[in-house]
Amino acid sequence: EYWPQRLGIEHHHGALLLRGLPHGPRPHQARPERHHRAGVLAAYRGRRHPGNKAGFQRPERRRQIDLKSQRSEGLSADQPGEGKRLPGRDAMNKQLTFLAGCVGVALLLSNCQRHTDDPAPNSDLRTTRWLLVQTDAMPVAVSSYSEDYKSYIQFATSGNQVVGQASCDALGAQFALGSAGQLSISQLSLAKSSCSSPYVANRYLTALAQTSRYAISHDTLRLYDAQATQPRLIFQAKP
Q: Is the pLDDT of residue 14 over 70?
A: no
The residue length of the chain stands at 239
One CATH from 3.40.50.12160, 2.40.128.270, 3.10.310.10, 2.40.50.140 for 122-237: 2.40.128.270
- The answer to which of 106-110, 177-181, 212-216 has the lowest mean pLDDT is 106-110
Q: Which H or E element spans position 34?
A: helix 32-46
C-alpha of 136 from chain center: 39
Give the chain's mean pLDDT: 72
Q: Is 185 helix (H, G, I), strand (E, B) or coil?
A: strand
Output the pLDDT for position 155: 95
In terms of Cβ atoms closer than 10 Å to its own Cβ (0-12, 13-18, 19+), residue 199 is: middle
141 contacts 158 by C-beta, under 8 angstroms: no
- At 71-129, the pLDDT tens digits run 665 544 444 444 455 456 677 777 777 777 776 666 666 555 444 444 444 558 888 99
